[in-house]
Amino acid sequence: MPTIQRKHTMYHSTVLDADPDTVWATVRDAMQILDIVSPGDLDIHRDVSWVEGGSVDTVPARYDFRLTLNGRLVQQEIAARDEINKTQSYRAVAPTSGVARYEATIRVFPITNDPARSFFDWSRTLEIAEDADLDVVEAIIDVMEKQTDAVRDHFAKTAK
């Protein structure tokens, strides 16, 4: 694993075996994408729920979950969504587990010559607190490194 910088950026992308509308209907819902990227024994979260009147169709919309890793509460919010361009940004609303600030964007694009598939990308920026437990931060980043593959694998299973 590379050395963790105080400002850590990540970018992952993949081609999915599903059309953009199918992918978007799933990944725009924070509850569904959290379920996809943290299934069963790889679970990094628990007690996931919309809070403060949030819902899949509300923007901004807050949702909370607890990290299985250390039991800490994670408070995030869907900050922006563009239904036409299939883009959604979200952010942490409170620091936790050594991450002082977190922002991310997911995007779904059509593949012009293959309309039954789509291109998915996920960009993230984490600002690491000065007093962070770097082992915990590294574990969180390690999980994040695998999440785009989990999205790819989810749609590969549903395409069969």
**124-156 pLDDT tens trace:** 999 998 888 888 888 888 888 889 999 999 999
Q: Which pLDDT belongs to residue 119?
A: 97
pTM above 0.75, yes or no: yes
Query: Which residue has better confidence, 34 or 86?
Result: 86
Q: Is the dihedral of CA 145, 78, 103, 96 positive or negative?
A: negative
Instruction: Indicate the domain borders of the chain.
Output: 7-37+79-159
CATH 3.30.530.20 matches 7-37+79-159: yes
pLDDT tens string 48-105 = 889 999 999 999 999 988 877 677 788 999 999 999 999 999 999 988 888 889 999 9
3-state SS assignment for residue 42 = helix
Residue 28: pLDDT over 60: yes
Q: Which pLDDT belongs to residue 78?
A: 96
Give the whole-angstrom CA distance, residue 142 versus residue 131. 19
For 73-78, the CB contacts below 8 A with 24+ separation are 74/45, 75/51, 76/30, 76/102, 78/30, 78/54
8 A C-beta contact, residue 152 and residue 16: yes
Q: Which residues of 96-106 are buried (b: 16+ CB within 10 A; e: fewer)?
A: bbbbbebbbbb
- Mean pLDDT score, 117-124: 96
